[in-house]
Amino acid sequence: MTDTAALNQKYFNQIASDYDRRYEKSLGQVEKEIKNARDFIGMRQGGRALDYACGTGLLSRSMGEDASQCIGIDISDSMVEAYNAKAKLEGAFPDKREAHLGNLIDPSDPSPAAFSDPKFSNFDLAGVGAGFHHFDDPALAARRLAERLRPGGVLFIMDFMPREIDEGMRSHGVTHHGFSEGQMRSVFEGAGVGGEFRFKELAEPFVMHNANGDGKHKSLRMFFARGSKL
């Protein structure tokens, strides 16, 4: 496990139990945006979705009406527990939604044995909801996720536009301070998922209410990017 992965694991284990309550307004805003972007994302109706760095399941819940099954993977065992607890509460576990502990983007482990089962491949969509800026190597992450897609499957990334560097966020596992359209296009094309590439900045900023648990709010510009596997 890289140092960044260890930081992410530690940080998200710490905040998992309070995550949905702390960011309730922000998560509700993003869930609505994703649901309204179905045509933009373009996942096949009734397809299977991989929700990577799934957290408590924001992307899975947002895509749930279109997907026959969502499988989450996260490096934080506490987030996996929270995801599955919510899925059980909503009657979606395990057939509709289920999360697993693991890491698909470890540079030293290109084919994790834990995810060798066919159910972890041939997805119609692989998505990362606001987790790309936590990855050491976004290009590697895109390639690894693309490998899990069926031909024509969609890679979907939701993250933040370039913003002011906040060194304090490094302790939270943040390695990148936003991405431009050009950067994302290059990442998608390099991973072989540049087909019908689309990128859009959301009209409304993403407001992180009580961002650091100190009562202060942070406003960030957010984007959606998608591309199809060639």
For the domain that residue 30 is a member of, what is the CATH number? Answer: 3.40.50.150
Give the structural domain span for 166. 3-228
Q: Which of 197, 56, 192, 81 is nearest to 131 (CA)?
A: 56
Sequence letter at residue 164: E
Q: What H or E segment, with its residue span, contains residue 63?
A: helix 58-63
Q: How confident is the model over 17-37, as a mean pLDDT?
A: 92
Tokens coding 92: 């979606």
What pLDDT digit, counting tens, does each position of 38-88 carry? 999 999 999 999 999 999 999 999 998 899 999 999 999 999 999 999 999
Whether 77 and 10 have beta carbons less than 8 Å apart is answered as no
pTM of the model: 0.95
CA distances from 77 to 15, 102, 159 (A): 12, 9, 22
List of residues 6+ apart from 108 with CB closer than 8 A: none
The Cα–Cα gap between 170 and 130 comes to 15
The Cα–Cα gap between 216 and 204 comes to 19
pLDDT value of residue 206: 85
pLDDT value of residue 95: 95
Q: Is a pLDDT exceeding 80 seen at residue 167?
A: no
pLDDT value of residue 173: 77
Q: Is a pLDDT exceeding 80 seen at residue 153?
A: yes
- How many structural domains compose the chain? 1
What pLDDT digit, counting tens, does each position of 190-224 carry? 999 999 999 999 998 888 766 665 667 788 999 99
Tokens coding 102: 């693991």
Beta-strand relationship, 123-129 and 97-101 = unpaired
Residue given tokens 């984007």 in the structure block: 223
pLDDT value of residue 215: 65
